[in-house]
Chains A and B, each alone.
Chain A
């Protein structure tokens, strides 16, 4: 059979087009995407902090350290409580001694005694990992040791983390640190081992005033979901596009 160059080129183009047709009609999806499209996770964990209710007792920090085996004396913590004191002269003083673990029992703030008469407002703000929907820490991990579960919680695999610290740098909220014993990246995971077992997170359980609560955003009947959807809530640093999932009631504009 003879085949001119023109015929050969024509046939090649036609053949390639025919071969590409079925490929066009198929969209490649990762297993995760496919699963999400067909069934989807029934759970999306979210956290609700009511700053109006927090008294800065520090029981949450204490409970977290114990539950998650973060050395008690180490100056790092998965969660912490900040105290804000705004005085009449317009200055804002912030502190979180020992991550707020021992409570705020004196009026002294960073070595300065403030006259109660001078205070315009003062409040406490608990902080923890925001379990972002677009987590920069997951994006930058070079080995995939930190990852997001389908119910929205970001976890760290201590067996696989190389300890490069890129995730620590990438988190705009400063929640990550190196575990003093395991020498791997560490952060709050909403007590994943507890919540997936039907229990409350250690800090939620320890809080005497219900300033910390957790719920499932996919369940419209969940009381926490109802607050988040019906009340005016705020998140921290949304300008980074991280889509944080720790929601705050009564958040002041001074909070950083």
Chain B
């Protein structure tokens, strides 16, 4: 097949039995990444709001970090969508000519609303810090400091009032934004669930439970990623301090960290139970009502995708970390293993929904198998292959590293909202 004759999907789809000629796995790894990354954004924000709105004081440390981390995750949630488009140059059209009967037409609007909320909340939380930096860097020599001061001056947006009243207003604004942000974050992700749940042609996707399941698993994955990143960074800082000979400080960090982790774990477990219950309910309901599609769904779930669904997702990704987290005498190492497994479990859930939903033909008489392109040999096999996915997954960490240079979310000594 010549290069200009690439049929989208043919590269990675293997058909079995009777599949309509035009059927391929059109939504591949990037559409797995899309709800996964959106879920992480929403979950990270919900975790930060637990402190800002509900005043869970012991979550303060991780709340600040989660807020900034959710900003780093945010642009990356839209990246997979861009990468999967056949006409990426037309990506702005849903904003220019939105066709509102489509579930994805409002993506840009929901996404930008949410982005504005996160940005403004961060601004209110860190404004005092920005002003302090502008003053602190005033007489510092060197081009680097001058540039940094210029950036901070820009970040203050000209609001230099740091009187008690002004700061109190900041706190109040941050709290309101965090409160408004929770439903918007849930909407952002529930909406991703709706995109799938409303496709009546797809027997696996079509379910009113889909948005709720998506929200629950989103919060689970968001909390897990924030906890994991937080632990890794804190351990790294402690390790660095120990090398410098600051032994006592290292143990303090460990103590503070343990409290935060214990509290976050409780929330994680709660949402995990909710997510699994809904998924099991969905499965039982499908089996009990046994509609026309049940025969093919059953063969996908219990035969072709059994390992992916029941072994990797439910057992390794849900049950094992649940036991690891709930058993007494939890250590940081065990928590890290459990968190990695939780993240893997949620990823597998997204995979089993997106790829699993295309694993059977609309004829209900055949199967399609997805073989993810590993070594790219074209733009398409890069974008929609392993390396495209790895690019997406590594982006938030790079962005966080940059953002954290100016908005130090991990520094305890900074007084913020």
Contact = CB atoms under 8 A, between A and B. Distances in A.
A175 B22 contact: yes
Interface string B4-22: 1111111000000110111
Contacts, number: 147
Contacts of A164: 81, 84-86, 104
Nearest to A80: B21
A71 B26 CA distance: 19
**Which of A139, A144, A145, A176 has the largest count of B CB atoms less than 10 A from its CB?**
A144
A143 interface: yes
Contacts of B96: 143
Nearest to B104: A142
Nearest to A164: B85
A239 B9 CA distance: 28
Contacts of B1: 73-74
Interface string A208-219: 000000000000
B365 interface: yes
Interface residues of B, number: 47
Contact of A174 (B8, B81, B363): B363
Interface string B58-98: 00000000000000000000000100111100110110111
A164 B86 CA distance: 7
Contacts of A176: 22
Contacts of B94: 142-143, 162
Given A166-B102, A175-B22, A161 B200 contact: no
Nearest to A109: B18
Given A80-B20, A171-B201, A174-B22, A183 B86 contact: yes
Interface of A: 71, 73-77, 80, 82, 92-96, 98-99, 110, 127, 136, 138-145, 160-166, 168-178, 180-181, 183-184, 239-241, 256
21 contacts: A73-B5, A74-B5, A74-B7, A75-B7, A75-B10, A76-B22, A96-B21, A98-B21, A110-B17, A138-B101, A142-B93, A142-B98, A143-B97, A162-B90, A169-B27, A174-B362, A177-B22, A178-B7, A183-B86, A241-B200, A256-B365
Interface of B: 1, 4-10, 17-18, 20-24, 26-27, 81, 84-87, 90-91, 93-94, 96-99, 101-105, 107, 195, 199-202, 292, 361-365
